[in-house]
Amino acid sequence: MKSFLILVTLMFAVVCSVNADVTHEVNVLERTIYHEAANQGSNGMYMVGCIIEQRMIERNLSASEVCLQKSQFSCWNKATEEDKQYRALPNDWASDYTHELAEAIVSGKGLDRSVIGFANHYCRIDKHPSWAKKKYWVKLVGVHNCYRLP
């Protein structure tokens, strides 16, 4: 009986740990999508979700690893460690939508990345970063150019 209780306790601890990891991934991902594109409507938020998912696949990284990489998403550029864990979302349709997108990505269901031409980068049309070359351009989504860098 004692070994059974130990086994059940260990299984519960593993499940709780997995759930905590999934919750962390969803939290970071939904906050990134929201703070990068909530003012761009559902198309802009979907685009950001697709870009993140594409990078996850290409780089074999988790959602939080992609989102929190240095200088990748402006909403995290000057964030403190506390910001990275607790950046709040308002209670609105956009936060509900970003949560749905994040859940789909983290669960493995995924998004239709073909709508952005499997792009892995984006920037506003009025910005011209050094990495944004015409030969890598794949699509315009709202006020963002989407690029597929090698």
Residue 86: predicted pLDDT: 54
How many Å apart are CA 35 and CA 87, to the nearest integer?
Answer: 9
Q: Tell me if 44 sits within 8 A of 144, measured CB to CB.
A: yes
- Check whether 18 has a pLDDT greater than 90: no
Residue 12: predicted pLDDT: 39
**Confidence band of 14 (pLDDT split at 50, 70, 90):** very low
CA distances from 57 to 53, 84, 98, 118, 137 (A): 6, 22, 19, 11, 20
Structure pTM?
0.81
pLDDT tens-digit map of 67-92: 999 989 988 887 666 565 556 677 78
Q: Which of 11-20, 31-40, 127-136 has the highest mean pLDDT?
A: 31-40
- What mean pLDDT value characterizes the chain? 84
**Confidence band of 2 (pLDDT split at 50, 70, 90):** low
- Check whether 25 has a pLDDT greater than 60: yes
- Check whether 129 has a pLDDT greater than 50: yes
- Check whether 136 has a pLDDT greater than 70: yes
- Check whether 107 has a pLDDT greater than 60: yes
